[in-house]
Amino acid sequence: MKGAKVACASKADRKLRYMENGKVIAEFDARFGAPGTQTRNGVFKVYMKHQNHYSTIYHVTMPYAMFFDGGEAIHYSADFARYGWAHGSGGCINVRDMNAARWLWNKIPVGTKVVVY
């Protein structure tokens, strides 16, 4: 399918790869769920985007959130930017660079496939 876009998230590599037509276009460091709030494996689709989301569960901002599985989303994380790999997320896929998160948010429309493995 021409123009096919996919976000592939590898827990083993701790990477999020943005792909178009089967080719890796960009790769970013990614942080996943902490023990007890693991990011689920599977094939999902982005069903909602919110540029300035606020989590009422964790009381944190989630800039450039792209929701793909219930409350789980790909988004920028200030905690990841500040502390690196020291903590995990509440199940989301964290991106540590705000510009990268913004770039992804602009590239990924609702309906884009998200593969977590």
The yes-or-no answer on residue 92 being catalytic is yes
Q: How far apart are CA 48 and CA 25, in angstroms?
A: 22
pLDDT digits (tens, 9 = 90+) for 84-112: 998 999 999 999 999 999 999 999 999 99
pLDDT digits (tens, 9 = 90+) for 44-75: 999 999 999 998 888 888 999 999 999 999 99
The yes-or-no answer on residue 8 being catalytic is no
- Please list the alpha-helical segments (H only) found in 69-110: 78-83, 98-107
Mean pLDDT of 2-23: 95
The whole-number pLDDT of residue 2 equals 63
The whole-number pLDDT of residue 45 equals 98
Q: Residue 22 is part of which domain span?
A: 5-116
CATH number at residue 73: 2.40.440.10
3-state class (DSSP) for residue 97? coil
The whole-number pLDDT of residue 56 equals 86
Q: What is the DSSP letter of 70?
A: T
Q: How far apart are CA 58 and CA 66, in angstroms?
A: 17
Q: Catalytic one among 50, 53, 59, 75?
A: 75
Phi first, then psi: give them for residue 21, nearest 5 degrees: 55, 40
